[in-house]
Each structure stands twice: as structure tokens, then as C-alpha cells.
Amino acid sequence: MISKLVLSEIIKDQLESILKKHWIERDKDIPLKTKKIVIISGVRRCGKSTLIQQKLIKTGKALYLNFEDPRLINFTLDDFPRLENIAEETGKTLLLLDEVQNIDKWELYARMANEKGIPLYITGSNAGMLSRELGTRLTGRYKQIELFPFNYNEFLTFFNLERNSESFNQYFELGGFPEFLEEKDDEYLRTLLRDIITRDIAVRRKITNENQLIRLAVHLLSNTGKEFSYNNISKILEIKSVRTVIDYCDYLRESYLVDFIPRYSPSIKKQLVNPKKSYSIDPVFAKANSLSFSKDLGRRLENFVFNKLRRDFTEIYYFKESNSECDFMIKKNEQMVQAVQVCWEINNDNMAREINGIKNAMAETGALEGTIITNNQEDKLDGIDLIPAWKWI
């Protein structure tokens, strides 16, 4: 339990810190007129707090509270009414609850506040924890918005750069974590990995062997864009239970560290058993935490392309048959709409393979369009557009 006076002081201190910040506008809208609870989820340190602050604090109607403040360690479910009282006394009509999953049974209050008509905006760093809690208590009462590290447009705004190959090369080397762009220290990204493993997974899941989680995360980050199976990972990392590998992979995905795509097949059963591919939330984050990823420019570019697709689409696959492969197949409204191949440089050695791969994938799946993303080549080969990444992304 926490006193109303102390709570008021914490709210005041946090607001003063917010007003000192330098903000850039994110390419993400938050609905201001909705009867649903708005949930902003995303990887730790991607800017969720800043998003709700910049979109809602400026309205003058929002009361903001970040539950990662150590002074709120004793905050419980019973303290939310005090928060409402402070909001009423200060004329605030919106409640912004940052990293609210730190409070046990927070979803009970969220439901009650929603029933009372209080506009509620919530952030969280773990999609799994949020969805499970929301699914049991708040079905149909919330709208979830995902936020990712800076995209290329936001990166340009951050550094006041023009769109061209030179600025994309900088984005390619620095990625999109806002605080890393200020520090440019790889140790920040390594510390971030440990924080996510510890705070967003191990503590909440009551996992005592953090080293296994870290080894798995490093393995996936080191093998971005490569096929894997749970059985093989179990053998390579000497994790006795395949079920444990599956669960740990789910936890890493829920925390937004990595994402997985299945191999395309008309059969749902085959999609489930076929090898998957993993991609990092940020390729530079993967590079900093990887054993072998740093020099493979093609796979890093592939990861950037995946992240762009992941922002825009929910159904993404890869295509592979005995004689051809295609990196990404995009499905929308039950129709395969796009095939995307990624190649650092098209040359005489790989041209036939890359062109045949994407054309075979289109023919087999009925994809309507095909594009090859390159580092800096622009052309049209056998009816397939080659587009430089900085123009496409």
C-alpha cells in the first residue's frame, strides 16, 4: 500500500522528467476517442512510454504513472482508487499506466475502470503476459497496438537526414533502439538482452536457469534467417526436453526479442512440423549479441526487410522446395499477395538462382507480385523488379 501524498509526489516527479525529454514523432497513432482499453505492447526500450507521453500528455488531460519506478514497489491493487482520486482532483480524465504488468492482478482494476468509463492507456513489454491476462478478464474490451524500434523514417527524423543510400547505411549499422542511437555502445544492447531475459521472462515465469534462456536467445540471434527445428536446438544446446525448448522459444517471442515464420505449405499440419526461421526485433541488436551474425551482410539485410514486413503484415512465410527458395511470402485475406527475395548483390553467380526462386514461389503459391530487395541495385530482370533497400523499406 502507498499513501496518496507519496503517490502524488511520484506522479509530479515523473511528469517533470517527461517534460524535459526531446521527442521525435513516431509513425504510430493512438486512438483518443474509444471506449476500449488501449494496450501498447512492444520490446523493452523501444519507446512505448515515450509514445503515450508524446501523444497524450500534450492533451493536458492525462495522468501518467510508470510502474517501473522503484518507489512504487509497494503499490497494490488497492492503491488504484487513490490514483483515481488524484486524477479527479487535478482535472485529469485519462489514465496512462506504464508497464502495468508489474502490478499483480492489474487486469481486475482495468476491467473496473473500463466499466466506469475511465479512458485507460496501458503499456507492457510482454505480449504473452498481457494477452493471457486480457483474454481471461477483458475479452472484447481492449485494442492492442504494437510498437517496434525506430523504422527508417523515424531514424531519418531522429538524425535529421535525407532518404538515400548513405543514410540507409547508417540505419543498417545502428538499427532502431532509441537510447542506443544516443550512446552507440554495444554493451547497452547486451545489457538490454540480459534485462529482457531476467525481468520480462525469468522473473515472471519463475525460471531459475537463466543461462539456458540466454544461450537459446544468443543461438537464435546468431542464426537469424536460418532454418531451425526444436529438436535440433535441443541437441545443440543440450536442453534435455524439447518441450522446454518450445516453451522458451514462445517466451522469447512474447517478449518481442525474436519472431518466427513457418515454411509455406498448403497443409497446416506440415507448416507446424516443418522447420521455422527466426528473426531479431532489431538486426543491430542481433549483431551485438551474436557469435557469428556480424559479418553476414545479406542475412542482416534480410532481417531489416522482415521487420518492415512484420510491421505491415501478420501472415509471413518462407518458401522452399528441392530446387528453389524464396525468403518471404506475404498472405493477406487468404490470398498470397507478394513474394519478396532479399539478396545483397545480384551477380552472374547468383542471378539465375534468385530469379528462379522467386518465380517458382509465385507460380506455386499464386502470389500476385514479386520483388527482389538488394543493397543498392535497381533494375528489372525477367519481369522481376530489383529495388534498393533504402527505396523499398
Q: Is there a domain that residue 155 lies in?
A: no
Question: How much of the chain exceeds pLDDT 90, in percent?
Answer: 84
Q: Number of structural domains, the chain?
A: 3
Q: Is there a domain that residue 195 lies in?
A: yes
Q: According to the model, what pLDDT value does residue 137 have?
A: 72
Q: Which parts of the chain have pLDDT scores under 50?
A: none
Q: Is 143 helix (H, G, I), strand (E, B) or coil?
A: strand
Q: Is there a domain that residue 179 lies in?
A: no
- d(CA 259, CA 278) in angstroms, rounded, equals 6
- d(CA 365, CA 339) in angstroms, rounded, equals 9
Q: Are residues 304 and 279 located together in one domain of the fold?
A: no
**Per-residue pLDDT tens digits for 166-204:** 999 999 999 999 999 998 999 999 999 999 999 999 998
Q: Is there a domain that residue 290 lies in?
A: yes
Q: Is there a domain that residue 172 lies in?
A: no
H or E element: which one contains 270? helix 268-273
- d(CA 309, CA 303) in angstroms, rounded, equals 10
* Pair type for strands 369-374 and 335-342: parallel
Q: Is there a domain that residue 160 lies in?
A: no
Of the residues 146, 166, 193, the one at which a domain ends:
146
- d(CA 284, CA 213) in angstroms, rounded, equals 20
Q: Are residues 379 and 342 located together in one domain of the fold?
A: yes
Q: Are residues 202 and 328 located together in one domain of the fold?
A: no
Q: Are residues 8 and 141 located together in one domain of the fold?
A: yes
Tell me if 137 sits within 8 A of 164, measured CB to CB.
no
Q: Are residues 24 and 88 located together in one domain of the fold?
A: yes
Nearest to 47 by CA among 180, 201, 198: 180
Q: Are residues 311 and 193 located together in one domain of the fold?
A: no
Q: Which residues of 263-298 are buried (b: 16+ CB within 10 A; e: fewer)?
A: bbeeeeeeeeebebbbbbbbbbbbbbbbeebeebee
Sheet holding 276-280: strands in order across? 227-228, 276-280, 258-262
- Sign, CA dihedral 144-148-150-153, equals negative
Q: Tell me the chain's radius of gyration from C-alpha atoms.
A: 22
Q: Are residues 243 and 334 located together in one domain of the fold?
A: no
Q: According to the model, what pLDDT value does residue 68 have?
A: 93
Q: According to the model, what pLDDT value does residue 28 have?
A: 93
Model confidence pTM above 0.85: yes
Q: Is there a domain that residue 170 lies in?
A: no
Q: According to the model, what pLDDT value does residue 177 have?
A: 98
Q: Are residues 283 and 205 located together in one domain of the fold?
A: yes
Q: Are residues 142 and 8 located together in one domain of the fold?
A: yes
Q: Are residues 41 and 86 located together in one domain of the fold?
A: yes
**Per-residue pLDDT tens digits for 307-358:** 999 999 999 999 999 889 999 999 999 999 999 999 999 999 999 999 999 9
Q: Is there a domain that residue 107 lies in?
A: yes
Which cell goes with 37? 482499453
Q: Whole domain around residue 329: which residue ranges?
A: 298-393
CATH number at residue 384: 3.40.1350
Mean pLDDT for the chain overall = 94
Q: According to the model, what pLDDT value does residue 135 have?
A: 67
Tell me if 121 sits within 8 A of 40, measured CB to CB.
yes
Q: Are residues 110 and 226 located together in one domain of the fold?
A: no
Tell me if 94 sits within 8 A of 32, measured CB to CB.
no
Q: According to the model, what pLDDT value does residue 188 have?
A: 98
Of the residues 247, 275, 295, the one at which a domain ends:
295
Sheet holding 384-388: strands in order across? 315-321, 324-332, 335-342, 369-374, 384-388, 379-381
CATH number at residue 220: 1.10.10.10
Q: Are residues 11 and 137 located together in one domain of the fold?
A: yes
Q: According to the model, what pLDDT value does residue 134 have?
A: 67
Tell me if 61 sits within 8 A of 121, measured CB to CB.
no
H or E element: which one contains 119? none
CATH number at residue 53: 3.40.50.300
Q: Cα dist. 98→26, 48, 354 in Å?
A: 18, 8, 45
Q: According to the model, what pLDDT value does residue 294 have?
A: 67
Of the residues 125, 146, 167, the one at which a domain ends:
146
